[in-house]
Amino acid sequence: METIKTRRLAGAGLWVLQVVAAGCFLLAALGKFAGAEPSVSTFEAIGWGDWFRQLVGVLEVAGAVALLVPALAGAAALALTGLMAGATLSEAFVSGGPVVVPLALLVVSGVIAWGRRERTAWLWEAVGRR
Q: What is the mean pLDDT of residues 11-39?
A: 96
Is residue 106 very low, low, confident or very high in pLDDT (cuts 50, 70, 90)?
A: very high
pLDDT at 25: 98
Question: How far is it, in rounded angstroms, from Cα 93 to Cα 102?
Answer: 13
Above 90 in pLDDT, residue 130?
no
Residues 6+ apart with CB under 8 A from 31: 39
User: What is the domain count for the chain?
Assistant: 1
Question: How far is it, in rounded angstroms, from Cα 55 to Cα 61?
Answer: 10
CA R_g for the chain: 16
Query: Which residues form the domain of 106?
Result: 4-128
Is residue 102 very low, low, confident or very high in pLDDT (cuts 50, 70, 90)?
A: very high
The DSSP string of 111-129 is: HHHHHTHHHHHHHHHHHHT
